[in-house]
Structure 1
Amino acid sequence: MPPTPRPATCDRCHGPGFADHAVGGPRQNRGVRIAIATTSAGRVAFLDPDGDLRGECDPADAPREVARLEAEAAPRWVWRDTREWAPALLEAGVRVARCHDLRLCGAILASSTAVAAAGPVARERPAWLPAGPAEGGFESEAAPAASVDRGPVLFDLDQVPEPGTAGSPSVADLVVEHDRQVHLAESSDRPTSMRLLLAAESAGALIAAELHAAGLPWRRSVHERVLEEALGPRPPVGRKPARMDELAAQVRRELEAPTLRLDSQADLLRALRAAGIGVDSTAKWELREHEHPAVAPLLAYKRLARLLSANGWAWLDEWVVDERFRADYVAGGTATGRWATSGGGALQLPKAVRAAVVADPGWSLVVADASQLEPRVLAALARDPAMAAAGRGRDMYRSIVDAGVVATRDEAKVALLGAMYGATTGDSGRLVPQLARAYPRAMALVDRAARDGEAGRQVTTLLGRSSPLPPPSWHAAQAAASQPDATVVDERRARSSARDWGRFTRNFVVQGTAAEWALCWLAGVRTRLAGMAAGGPSAAASGRVFERAPHLVYFLHDELIVHTPAEHADAVADAVRAAAAEAGRLLFGDAPVEFPLDLAVTASYASAGA
């Protein structure tokens, strides 16, 4: 089995790793289990822990039956896909505490090196479960574009399957698959960690559904004002806003190209070169290197064009209803475990429109951002005492400067990012060796992950999610370079693709483990919020489950927002902090690494970082 980045020494048993002592516990994937599925006759069936059919009901009665069983048994619900059940339950005012999402958990187990010893059992997934990441089931945001064979961007379940359709599993099928998955987790080389990962991934699926149901509070009037201030009045369909027309005219004058179409990259590039601006692309960073009177208005035009296309009036009409933005989150949507979205662009909200995110009257937003999460995760993964010491303050980059490793905060940031993403040129290439001398364990961990990737091996996160294997094109390039008649071009291509994949695996172990920390943080916040008493003014647009209770409304990799009655804001802030500390303990035990939060209680998202 290829080496996996795990802590070098356990302080309790002096063996490899310490995660299994710190995570999970009796509550993970234990207790009562109830499977739920739709029968071929269109009825909803429930199977209890003893394997007996608890009963059947019409779909319209399912929320009431789920609510009854939830209150009586507090079960872990077993279903094929959270997206098949959670939306309708939430709409009916029913919220479940725990589930086991067979789709997400099956994908993790299908490619994890932690279950490799199970052999064929790990590959016995039924046909009604989708492909996992190692089989082209979804795209990795970190993988190099030139080296990845692009299949479907996300799981093949972008369209949620209809319960009861041909090929749908019976409730007994779900139990068989659940037992198989539990067996794989228990027989893996890190059972407690794997249990936690499957529980956290399933909790993430519930949270994704709840984020959509509650929606992010969004003031349409504020958004429209932002658009009008930046772009001018809303134009007729098919026309550009006035401000963009003005900037386009200015660019044409400066380039002496009166008929130039600024939205055509080819035409724009020709016009720039004809005006003596020697660029290879129209990228912002490249344009800024040239002092020409056309550059400033062109950059302004491109900025407004992005605002219009990504979050303009058309976006507002489609995605904001009843003062709520309801994004379609996809839990586990990338190979590293980071989330994706299948609509709405929630993971790319520009600062310009964040002013529209405003709490309801009598409510507040608790906005929390895990400060410099990935470098801290690297320090904890590697058990690097020097890097852990640098992370004990709120600003890890400043601490690295204070330790004399590099001269400036910017250099510290560039060096750390370069180390995690495999930069070998420019400032990163110059500074990374200084980090290696100061933090040898941390740099050795990512270097080892890179070497594994360059050799075509998988790497695995702390809890057990493994990277995809390189695609066929990667192997073809390596094979061509090893042939007796290989050319210099073949050898160069093989080296390049190997390095690219090594950069992917180098970052995978850190980004994937950071995603696991974030999932545990989210789940901890959700549990604590559920225990708070409802009260205060109504936020009816958030739906029946959340209209009087604090609830999560936004998540972005290492940042979350809770919408809460103002009277609970301080308690919510304490809960968010406590959940972050708990996530660190769950994953890293007593590793001396802190995970501080930048936290604000505010009425507007735009003012959170002020």
Structure 2
Amino acid sequence: MSLSRLPDDRVLVVDGDARVEIAATDLPGLVDEREAEQPRWVWDDTARWYPPLLASGVRIGRCHDLRLAHHLLRRAPAADQALLSGEQSELWDRLGPTTPTAPALFASDDPAEHLRADLEDARQLAVVGASGEASRLRLLLAAESSGALVAAEMTFAGVPWRADVHDRLLTELLGPRPLRGMRPRLLEDLADQVRQALRSPDLNPDSRTDLLSALRRTGIDVPDVRASTLRAVDHPVVEVLLRYKNLAQLAKTNGWAWSDQWISAGRFRPSYQPAGSSTGRWSSNGGGALSLPAQVRPAAVADDGWRLVVADVAQLEPRALAGMSGDRALAASARGADLYQSMADDGAVASRIEAKMGLLGAMYGATSGGSGRLVAALTERYPAAFGLVEEAARAGERGEVVRTLLGRGAPRLGETDDVDPDDPAVDPAGRARDRRAYGRFTRNFVVQGTGAEWALCWIADLRNRLWNLGATGSLVERPHLVFFLHDEVVVHAPASLADDVVSLMEQAAATASALLFRDLPIDFPLTTSIVTSYADAGKAGTGTE
């Protein structure tokens, strides 16, 4: 059942051959009534349609996000691009994600605001149906759309957040809340210490140019002021400067202004962007949820009588590599909690650290030095897995498109650059350098992208299991997802159901593995914690990083 925006706050509803126009204000009632039939809701952007439904108390089971699907199919090697073209297709090509500052649902007369969902849906169905990899693409599009539902629900529900705890943490680290435009007192004290150490009384340590000049005047000749560069410098200023930079970043990204904007009614409500990166990994287009620092995590506190159930996957991408390559030897090592230790126990290498260095070296292109020697040795033990990433790298260097297990295509060589690497005017050495760099990208793309696909299937299945566990009540009255970060999820659940949630997390992980890797059993063990504060999650550690 497709929904299209029309002028004058109207909605076009297409259900098979039936077409009807309704007022936007009547949409929640229609969706709530038809949801019992378990329809597939089709719309241009979940982030625009779903939040008003959630605010009206309506939760849906399935959708098809045309915007996400369109951009995915545009890059998919198995998709016939000619079938994706037609009326309004150029507008779909340009359609970007809804942002927190986007206008209201029907506020604009821009043609892109009134796209025909039924026409685009028919084209996408034709593209998938004609593909030689239809089943994989269907799974990928379903997982992508389910992820969009999860993103909207997590923003709606929010992470339980104690603003008073957050303020106390900031005060302890930075000093009392300052006037707008001023540094907190303790941060200003550190700035003064930096000025004294560098004998630069007027120095603004937030200015990269000024700081570099002050460092060089003191005899510290560094190319930049990155933390990794400064740590290699033997000078008393380094310790205090690194502390200043760390706390200044905290004040900027998660300080009082951030709290004013993103914390409301006891909840942190960031805005997620599914498929925000080319590999399918999420990003954040508001609130910075994907970089929540440890200093403020104690403010994430479950409601009274509730718990935060946290789960993260051990070594997600190496396990995804084992599954997508069909390498049974590596799959055998992946059984159990620590893949790297299993590789060492099997005699592939002498130690766990060598297993980790070799496998990560293969995925990230470390072909020289110690990692390079380990890659060569491990290739003999795991030829399918190591051969897959090597071929992906070579394909990238040839300028070919690579793809994930389910069919997401990588951006082409030069697609995001201003210069075409095949242009004869480009310096040959520069062209070769660009191709090697793209080969390193494609080497990792196939693995990271497949890992993202597994994670999408995991959270999509977990979402439905949590809804059924609650039995009755609204979304926020049942166990519900509140946070997702690549290989980690957080569920807010009544304390009495927390153990059940752990079991559902494990079941959903097994389901995701079976969906992607079929007959090749790949373990995706979880490290789980049931805590009151997010800061307490995983403190014991497992040694499986």
Q: Distance in 1 between matches of 2:82 and 2:283?
A: 30
Q: Distance in 2 between matches of 1:410 and 1:466?
A: 32
Partner of 2:140: 197
Amino acid at match of 1:122: L
2:378 matches 1:435: yes
Partner of 1:218: 161
Partner of 1:478: 422
Kindly state the Cα deviation for residue 408 of structure 1 after the two structures are TM-superposed: 4.3
Kindly state the Cα deviation for residue 41 of structure 1 after the two structures are TM-superposed: 4.1
Mean Cα displacement is larger for which, 197-206 or 55-64? 55-64
2:409 matches 1:444: no
Partner of 2:29: 64
Mean Cα displacement is larger for which, 466-475 or 560-569? 466-475
TM-superposition CA deviations, 1:532-560 (whole Å, max 9, x none) = 2357xxxxxxxx83231111101111111
Partner of 1:417: 360
**How many residue pairs align between the two structures?**
535
Partner of 2:534: 605
Mean Cα displacement is larger for which, 38-47 or 310-319? 38-47
The 8 Å contact of residues 376 and 593 in structure 1, kept in 2 or not, is answered as: yes
2:209 matches 1:269: no
Amino acid at match of 1:99: C
2:275 matches 1:328: no
Amino acid at match of 2:10: R
2:523 matches 1:594: yes
Kindly state the Cα deviation for residue 531 of structure 1 after the two structures are TM-superposed: 1.0
The 8 Å contact of residues 112 and 464 in structure 1, kept in 2 or not, is answered as: yes
Which structure 2 residues correspond to residues 92-241 of structure 1 after superposition, within 5 A? Answer: 92-115=56-79, 118-124=80-86, 126-127=88-89, 129-131=91-93, 155=96, 157-158=98-99, 159=102, 162-163=105-106, 165-167=109-111, 173-241=116-184
What SS does the aligned partner of 2:111 have? Answer: coil
Partner of 2:458: 521
Which structure 2 residues correspond to residues 41-80 of structure 1 after superposition, within 5 A? Answer: 41-49=8-16, 51-53=17-19, 55-71=20-36, 73-80=37-44
Amino acid at match of 1:502: G
Partner of 2:442: 505
Amino acid at match of 1:432: V
Q: Distance in 1 between matches of 2:413 and 2:247?
A: 38
Kindly state the Cα deviation for residue 407 of structure 1 after the two structures are TM-superposed: 4.4
Kindly state the Cα deviation for residue 209 of structure 1 after the two structures are TM-superposed: 0.8
Partner of 1:494: 431
Which of residues 24, 30, 51 is equivalent to 1:87?
A: 51
What SS does the aligned partner of 1:380 have? Answer: helix
Q: Distance in 2 between matches of 1:125 and 1:346?
A: 37
TM-superposition CA deviations, 1:550-591 (whole Å, max 9, x none) = 111011111111111111111111111100110000000121
Root mean square deviation of aligned Cα: 2.2
The 8 Å contact of residues 37 and 169 in structure 1, kept in 2 or not, is answered as: no
What SS does the aligned partner of 2:423 have? Answer: helix
The 8 Å contact of residues 128 and 167 in structure 1, kept in 2 or not, is answered as: no
Q: Distance in 1 between matches of 2:103 and 2:275?
A: 15
Q: What stretches of structure 2 of length at least 5 have no aligned partner?
A: 540-545
Which of residues 444, 466, 477 is equivalent to 1:548?
A: 477
Amino acid at match of 1:189: G
Kindly state the Cα deviation for residue 123 of structure 1 after the two structures are TM-superposed: 3.5
What SS does the aligned partner of 2:399 have? Answer: coil
The 8 Å contact of residues 110 and 123 in structure 1, kept in 2 or not, is answered as: no
Using a 3 Å threshold, how does the CA distance of structure 1 residues 354 and 425 change in structure 2: closer, same or farther? farther
What SS does the aligned partner of 2:13 have? Answer: strand
Q: Distance in 1 between matches of 2:347 and 2:202?
A: 56
What SS does the aligned partner of 1:478 have? Answer: coil
The 8 Å contact of residues 106 and 129 in structure 1, kept in 2 or not, is answered as: no
Mean Cα displacement is larger for which, 442-451 or 177-186? 177-186
Q: Distance in 2 between matches of 1:547 and 1:210?
A: 9
Partner of 1:319: 262
State TM-score, norm by structure 2: 0.93
Amino acid at match of 2:423: A
What SS does the aligned partner of 2:432 have? Answer: helix
Which structure 2 residues correspond to residues 575-586 of structure 1 after superposition, within 5 A? Answer: 575-586=504-515
State TM-score, norm by structure 1: 0.83
The 8 Å contact of residues 131 and 156 in structure 1, kept in 2 or not, is answered as: no
Q: Distance in 2 between matches of 1:229 and 1:397?
A: 40
Q: Distance in 2 between matches of 1:223 and 1:413?
A: 37
Amino acid at match of 1:529: L
What SS does the aligned partner of 2:475 have? Answer: coil
The 8 Å contact of residues 534 and 548 in structure 1, kept in 2 or not, is answered as: no
Kindly state the Cα deviation for residue 76 of structure 1 after the two structures are TM-superposed: 0.5
Using a 3 Å threshold, how does the CA distance of structure 1 residues 252 and 428 change in structure 2: closer, same or farther? farther
TM-superposition CA deviations, 1:113-164 (whole Å, max 9, x none) = 112xx352134472475338xxxx8xxxxxxxxxxxxxxxxx3654468447
Partner of 1:281: 224
Amino acid at match of 2:15: D
Using a 3 Å threshold, how does the CA distance of structure 1 residues 201 and 161 change in structure 2: closer, same or farther? farther
Q: Distance in 2 between matches of 1:468 and 1:552?
A: 31
What SS does the aligned partner of 1:547 have? Answer: helix
Q: Distance in 1 between matches of 2:189 and 2:348?
A: 49
Kindly state the Cα deviation for residue 192 of structure 1 after the two structures are TM-superposed: 0.9
Kindly state the Cα deviation for residue 66 of structure 1 after the two structures are TM-superposed: 0.9
2:312 matches 1:369: yes
Using a 3 Å threshold, how does the CA distance of structure 1 residues 78 and 156 change in structure 2: closer, same or farther? closer
Q: What stretches of structure 1 of length at least 5 have no aligned partner?
A: 1-33, 138-154, 536-543
TM-superposition CA deviations, 1:261-285 (whole Å, max 9, x none) = 2111122122222223232221212
Which structure 2 residues correspond to residues 448-467 of structure 1 after superposition, within 5 A? Answer: 448-467=391-410
Partner of 1:574: 503
Kindly state the Cα deviation for residue 427 of structure 1 after the two structures are TM-superposed: 4.4
Amino acid at match of 1:40: P
The 8 Å contact of residues 365 and 601 in structure 1, kept in 2 or not, is answered as: yes
Q: Distance in 2 between matches of 1:435 and 1:276?
A: 45
What SS does the aligned partner of 2:309 have? Answer: strand
Partner of 2:185: 242
Amino acid at match of 1:350: P
Mean Cα displacement is larger for which, 493-502 or 471-480? 471-480
2:281 matches 1:338: yes
Higher relative contact order (Cα pairs below 8 Å, separated by 6+ residues): 1
Kindly state the Cα deviation for residue 521 of structure 1 after the two structures are TM-superposed: 0.3
